[in-house]
Chains A and B, each alone.
Chain A
Amino acid sequence: MDPVKIIIDGQEVTTTKGKTVIQAAAEVGVAIPHYCYHPKLSIAGNCRMCLVEIEKMPKLQIACNTQVAEGMGILTQSPKVLAVRKAVLEFLLINHPVDCPICDQAGECWLQDYYMQHDRQESRFEVGKVHDRKRTIFGPNVVFDGERCIKCTRCVRFCQEITKTDELTVVNRSDHSTIDLFPGATLDNPLSANVVDICPVGALTDRDFRFKVRVWYLQKTPSICPGCSTGCNISAETYQNRIARFKPRVNEAVNSHWLCDEGRYCFHDLAGGARLTTPMIRQEGGLVPATWEAALQAVFSGLGSAPPLAGILSGRNTNEEAYLFAKLVKKISAKHALEVFYQERELTPVQKILMSPDRSPNFRGARDMGVSSNGGYEALLAELIAGSFVGAYVVGEDLIATAAQPDKVRAALQNLSFLVVQDTRITETSKLAHVVLPATHFGEKEGTYTNRKGRVQKLNAAVIPPKGARQDSEIFMQLLDLAGERNGDANPAEIFRSLAREIASYRELDFEAIGDQGIEVGAAVAERHDR
Chain B
Amino acid sequence: MEKILLRNIGIADSHTLDTYRSRGGYASWQKVVGSMKPEQLIEEVKASGLRGRGGAGFPTGMKWSFVPKDNPKPKYLVCNADESEPGTFKDRLLIEEDPHAIIEGTLIGAYAIQSHTAFIYVRGELAFGATRLERAVEEAYQAGYIGKNIFGSSYDLDVIVHRGAGAYICGEETALLSSLEGGRGWPKVKPPFPATHGLFGCPTVVNNVETLAALPWILDRGAAAYSALGTEKSKGTKLFSVSGHIARPGVYELEMGYPFKKFLEEDCGGVSNGRKLKGVIPGGGSMPVLLPDEIDKVNLDYESVQAAGSLLGSGGVIVMDESTCMVRAALNLARFFAHESCGQCSPCREGCHWMEKILHRIEYGQGEQGDLDLILNIAGNIAGNTICPFGDAAAWPPGAFIRKFRGEFEAHVAEKRCTVGH
Contacts from A to B (Cβ < 8 Å):
43-49, 51, 59-60, 62, 65, 84, 87-88, 90-92, 94-95, 124-125, 127-128, 130, 150-151, 169-170, 172-177
Contacts and interface: CB of A to CB of B under 8 A. Distances in A.
B385 A175 contact: no
Given A44-B189, A127-B361, A174 B349 contact: yes
Contacts, number: 93
B171 to A, nearest CB: 15
A173 B343 contact: yes
- The majority secondary structure among interface residues of chain B is helix
B385 A47 contact: no
A247 B352 CA distance: 38
A174 B384 CA distance: 18
Interface string B178-195: 000000100001010000
B333 to A, nearest CB: 15
B257 to A, nearest CB: 27
Contacts of B343: 151, 170, 172-177
Interface string B316-353: 00000000000000000000001111111111011111
Contact of B346 (A43, A59, A91): A91
Nearest to B360: A127
B199 interface: no
Interface string B372-394: 00100000010011110000000
Contact of B385 (A44, A65, A87, A95): A87
Contacts of A62: 189
Contacts of B354: 91, 94, 125, 127
Contacts of B133: none
21 contacts: A45-B189, A46-B189, A46-B387, A48-B347, A51-B385, A60-B384, A65-B189, A87-B347, A87-B385, A88-B385, A91-B349, A91-B350, A92-B350, A94-B354, A124-B374, A130-B353, A151-B346, A173-B339, A173-B340, A174-B341, A177-B349
A43 B191 CA distance: 11
Given A62-B189, A91-B381, A174-B343, 10 more contacts: A45-B345, A45-B387, A51-B385, A84-B385, A88-B346, A127-B358, A127-B361, A151-B349, A173-B342, A174-B341
B342 A174 contact: yes
A90 B381 contact: yes
Contacts of A150: 346
Nearest to B338: A174
Contacts of A48: 345-347, 385-387
B381 A87 contact: yes
Contacts of B357: 127-128
B137 interface: no
A59 B386 CA distance: 10
Nearest to A83: B381
A49 B339 CA distance: 23
A173 B341 contact: yes
A106 B6 CA distance: 62
B338, B341, B349, B354 — most chain A CB neighbours (10 Å): B349
The 6 tightest CB contacts between A and B, nearest first, are A177-B343, A45-B189, A87-B381, A127-B357, A91-B350, A174-B341
Interface in B366-414: 374, 381, 384-387
Contacts of A84: 381, 385
Contacts of A169: 184
B201 to A, nearest CB: 12
B167 interface: yes
A44 B350 CA distance: 17
Contacts of A88: 346-347, 381, 385
Nearest to B344: A46
B352 A60 contact: no
B330 to A, nearest CB: 16
B196 to A, nearest CB: 14
Contacts of A59: 384-385
Contacts of B191: 65
Contacts of B358: 127
Given A84-B381, A125-B354, A175 B341 contact: yes
A374 to B, nearest CB: 56
A45 B191 CA distance: 11
A124 B338 CA distance: 19
Nearest to A60: B385
Contacts of A128: 357
Contacts of B349: 91, 151, 174-175, 177
A173 B347 CA distance: 14
Nearest to B167: A173
A43 B387 CA distance: 12
B385 A174 contact: no
B376 to A, nearest CB: 13
Nearest to A174: B341
Contacts of A90: 381
Contacts of A95: 350
Nearest to A173: B343
A31 B129 CA distance: 52
Nearest to B391: A48
B129 to A, nearest CB: 24
B184 A92 contact: no
A177 B169 CA distance: 14
A59 B392 CA distance: 12
B309 to A, nearest CB: 18
B393 to A, nearest CB: 14
B339 A174 contact: yes
A172 B354 CA distance: 18
A368 to B, nearest CB: 47
Contacts of A124: 374
Nearest to A169: B184
Contacts of A65: 189, 191
A91 B386 contact: no
A49 to B, nearest CB: 8
Interface string B115-143: 00000000000000000000000000000
Nearest to B169: A173
Contacts of B374: 124
